[in-house]
Homo-oligomer: A and B are copies of this chain.
Amino acid sequence: MPEFRRDPVIGRWVIIDPARRFNKSIPSESESYPKDYSGCPFCPGNEYMTRPEILAYSKISGRTPNTKGWDLRVIPNNQPVLAIEGTLNRRGEGMYDKMEGIGAHEIIIETPEHNIKQAEITAQYYETLYNASIARIKDLRNDQRLEYILIFKNYGVLANAVFEHPHSQLIAMPIVPKRVREEIDGAKKYFSYKERCVFCDMIAQELSDAARVVDENEFFVAFCPYAARYPFETWILPKNHASDFDSISEREITSYAQITKSVFSKISKVLDDCAYSFLIHTGPLKERNIPYYHWHAEIIPKLIKTAGFEWGTGLYVNPVSPEDAAKYLREAE
């Protein structure tokens, strides 16, 4: 079973999982997806290759579970980084701390189409994805061992997507991860000084500056953040304050789906078929409805490599100013 271990200096947890596939040889530089994808476990007709589905959306009434005919399908990951069965058993090991790798790792198969093109993806596609994500979060809220749920998507070989078939991932974990805790602690500090949400203030300033805005609609704004770590890094934020992604209204989901489609169309136009990671930062499961945190999505196109400097400092060197990136994206289409 995977195991959480805590770094005794900075308190960061890592997951040690020796059962994962690992090849000691140097990663190949020429990896690409197989042209023949008849063996893809996420394609319709291959449902028997995955573990039984947790959720599926289908237009066919009375569809038999784990058969084709679905529009979106959620399954447990065959190689989960965290296991759903067991107890945490938090304990010491000499001066160190560890606990069992308990949690959930699900795959959201976004579409039956293995090779869907960016141009073919509709706002409805994202709306279905977000509805499924919210349904899964609401269900997993019942598991009291869990503290945080991350929903993310890796797209392309360079972004480490093992399968080509379009999919997102959900990982529910028994801790609030370091990066989220940092955001919450920072936002709390700002709130205690200003009595305002730092993200709400950023939205106001971005809409007023306009220089970094990529897109905007009724309920959402997309911009390249002032201190962007990566070229073309783009965030999407709800204009109305809300700390929990799964608390948004149906109208907001529709609006969020529309801006997502628009932003990815722009990115795919400006950066070709670039690999990326896309993730949602929402509040911790047990800190609901907080005034100082604001859920948001982050998109990171994989355009540069990081190494010793970033590793050693936590600083990033970004060769494209967010103002330039936003201008390119804003003017696309």
Contact = CB atoms under 8 A, between A and B. Distances in A.
Contacts of A277: 307-308, 311-312
A62 interface: no
Chain B CB within 10 A, most for which of A24, A31, A169: A24
Contacts of A270: 24
Interface string A152-188: 1110011111000000010101000111101101110
Contacts of A32: 29
Given A153-B308, A312-B279, A313-B179, A18 B321 contact: yes
A160 B271 contact: no
A34 interface: no
Number of copies: 2
Chain B CB within 10 A, most for which of A22, A31, A183, A298: A22
Nearest to A189: B11
A59 to B, nearest CB: 30
24 contacts: A5-B227, A8-B201, A8-B202, A9-B190, A9-B199, A10-B182, A14-B228, A14-B317, A15-B317, A22-B303, A24-B271, A24-B303, A26-B158, A26-B271, A26-B303, A27-B304, A29-B158, A94-B209, A96-B226, A177-B312, A180-B312, A277-B308, A300-B311, A302-B307
Interface of A: 2, 5-18, 20-22, 24-27, 29-32, 81, 93-96, 148, 150, 152-154, 157-161, 169, 171, 173, 177-180, 182-183, 185-187, 190, 198-199, 201-202, 205, 209, 225-229, 231, 270-275, 277-279, 281, 298, 300, 302-309, 311-322, 324
